[in-house]
Chain A
């Protein structure tokens, strides 16, 4: 088992938190029913099997919804991104003018330092990243 990287990681998600430090987003795959889930947990929420394993993601996804939280300083673009591997996850959209973001945009994974002691997954629209 991986070492805990922060008080906010725990035995159940330590591998996920450690992967984040090397720029990788892990989700969980259920070997029993074949479904993927996020946030990673010991049991599959779809069939309750404990036969689950971590799965590295491609980092590709699509914006499901977002909110430009303007009352925060700096402004944060909160979002749900649907990963190519299935799960829709809570995240942020970064590196783009908030007014150019739209639901359905293709986005790519990045990481940002967080107050948890390990980096958190964030996403940037693909077109902007290539520009």
Chain B
């Protein structure tokens, strides 16, 4: 069995806020859900599947379906950090194909900026001695950025990758973000701006890091017969894959991510080639996250990512592979420190031809969305999705 063409993304909505003062977490969840329903042209009574993750308030699914008045017959709370929502689309397609639901809501939202909660406080629940890796790792105060920095340092050591090459990823994001009125950082930056910004964790600079933002987003996935009766362009789920990777008892290659497995599975299911992809949303918590996954998803050879991203190759209208045309997590939005939903939403915009005209990829009929959750340099989850305009 395959999920290919068994389900369609019929609604997508990104919350316009980047700082949610005066609005609660539950309100944010409701607003993104209602926004996606309005985009799809459906009513809440049609939703029978609910997909949620660690950002949802309350204990799992107990809170938001009740708060919104949803009548749910299929639930999925898969949590692989920021990549969760990309996996949810694949899971929703599986559930729809199996007849377990027909219209699935996937929603995420958060407000770390307004709540003034630093990420290390947000993640403090992970410092639980019952988690077996905690005693040997927690005392070192490893920040999320430190794990990614160790990936970057090893990539530079093995492949000669430079800070200037990594900076091109931020430059591309800023070129796209200038056209997005909701983006947190709309100013176009240069390679020099990035490498001259302060070091956060060598070799990563401040401008190698994504924004911290409030907000969120939601998508609606529906069965083919329902999708065809709605007014929106048909965006089919063509393939999906997911994986996790950790330190493997101390025997690991930090330059191979779980994205290899999730990408291969998604491409195999979709039955398309890397060269067929017209647009890619690639999780960009840090510049190195993008570089690693261009390699691990097979857009270029391992070690060649630095050359691949240089000279504007990721900028829409300029380069060979436009990515993150909304400005990505690096410039636009990384809601609740879990930006995965925005990766799906911009891919849907591109496939519908609804991206900003300055960044719209002409004839965009096949797009990829990839998410990375957790810490790339330590343990992380990956989810890859291939979507097609029909």
Contacts and interface: CB of A to CB of B under 8 A. Distances in A.
Given A68-B202, A70-B199, A9 B250 contact: no
Contacts of B143: 69, 71-72
Across chains A and B, which 9 residue pairs bring their CB atoms closest together, nearest first? Answer: A87-B250, A37-B249, A67-B149, A114-B139, A45-B249, A39-B136, A68-B202, A65-B154, A65-B150
Given A8-B138, A39-B132, A90-B247, A69 B146 contact: yes
A39 B202 CA distance: 26
Interface string A56-90: 00000000111111111000101110010011111
A86 to B, nearest CB: 7
Interface in B104-163: 129-130, 132-143, 145-147, 149-151, 153-154, 157
Given A67-B201, A68-B202, A71-B143, A38 B250 contact: yes
A70 B135 contact: no
Contacts of A103: 153-154, 157
A71 B149 CA distance: 13
A18 interface: no
A69 B133 contact: no
A65 B251 contact: no
Contacts of B140: 76, 78, 90-92, 120
A88 B250 contact: yes
Range class of the A interface residue count: 35 or more
A124 interface: no
Given A17-B135, A67-B204, 10 more contacts: A9-B129, A38-B136, A39-B136, A45-B248, A65-B151, A68-B201, A71-B200, A72-B141, A88-B247, A91-B140
B247 to A, nearest CB: 7
A86 B146 contact: no
A43 B366 CA distance: 44
A18 to B, nearest CB: 12
Nearest to A36: B250
B132 A90 contact: no
A46 to B, nearest CB: 6
A116 B201 contact: no
B136 A79 contact: no
B355 interface: no
A40 B132 CA distance: 9
Interface string A28-46: 0000000111111100111
* Residue of B134, B154, B199, B247 ringed by the most chain A CB atoms within 10 A: B247
* Residue of A12, A16, A72, A104 ringed by the most chain B CB atoms within 10 A: A72
Contacts of A76: 140-141, 146
A49 interface: no
Contact of B138 (A40, A70, A91, A116): A116
B135 A8 contact: yes
Interface in B226-252: 247-252
B202 A90 contact: no
B153 A88 contact: no
A71 B200 CA distance: 5
B139 A120 contact: yes
Interface string B310-352: 0000000000000000000000000000000000000000000
Contacts of B147: 67, 78
28 contacts: A9-B129, A10-B135, A12-B132, A13-B136, A16-B136, A17-B135, A37-B249, A39-B132, A39-B250, A45-B249, A46-B249, A46-B251, A65-B151, A65-B254, A66-B150, A67-B203, A68-B201, A69-B141, A70-B202, A71-B145, A78-B150, A87-B249, A87-B250, A90-B247, A90-B378, A91-B140, A114-B139, A116-B135
Contacts of A35: 249, 251
Nearest to A40: B136
Contacts of B199: 68, 70
Contacts of B252: 88
B27 to A, nearest CB: 32
A88 B203 CA distance: 21
B109 to A, nearest CB: 27
Contact of A89 (B141, B146, B250): B250
